[in-house]
Every structure is written in structure tokens, then in C-alpha cells.
Amino acid sequence: MDMEKQKWIEDVIDSGSRVRKLAPRDSLLEAIERRVAPVAEVPARKVWIAAASVAVLIALNFAAIKAAGDTGTEKSSTTETPLYTNNQLY
């Protein structure tokens, strides 16, 4: 029984040497390269314009927040709504 198992193992290992290796057709690499789209580069000028516009928007937001904070009519949330101390749910 042990000899049969050993022979079977050797036959399985040896079967790999009888497998014929396949070679791809010559036009396969060219077909793959045609299907894969080239990466489009974004010009540096457009990147700088986008970065500058983001910086301008951030500056405008800070200016708007600062202008809204200087009105002086802001109320505290505790004076607008009463504080409920009764947490009884039923």
C-alpha cells in the first residue's frame, strides 16, 4: 500500500514535466497595449489655478466667518432655550 502511494505521488509530480507550455500569440502584447488607455497628464498651470482658487475660497470663508462673528448680537444657547432638568421618560 505504501509503495502504491509513493508511486502515485511520483506520477503526479512527473506529470508536470509532460505538460506542454503554451506560448502567447505575437499580437497579444500589442492588443493589450492598445486597450490600456494612456494616462493623461494634467498641465501644471491648471493645477496651480485650482490650488489658487481653493486658497481664495478659504480666505473668503475666513473673512465671512470673521464678519459674522463681529455683529455682537449672538446669544448663548442657554439663554435661547430653557434647560430641562427633569429627565423622567414616563
Q: Which tens digit of pLDDT belongs to each residue from 9-40?
A: 888 888 888 888 888 888 998 888 888 877 78
The top-scoring range by mean pLDDT among 15-19, 50-54, 82-86 is: 50-54
On whether residue 75 sits in a domain, the answer given is no
What's the DSSP call for residue 85? -
Alpha helices (H) in the chain, listed in sequence order: 2-15, 28-35, 44-69, 77-80
pTM summary value:
0.39
Q: Which domain holds residue 59?
A: 3-70
On whether residue 87 sits in a domain, the answer given is no
On whether residue 25 sits in a domain, the answer given is yes
Binned at pLDDT 50, 70 and 90, residue 71 comes out as low
Q: Based on the structure, what is the number of domains in the chain?
A: 1
pLDDT surpasses 90 at 51: yes
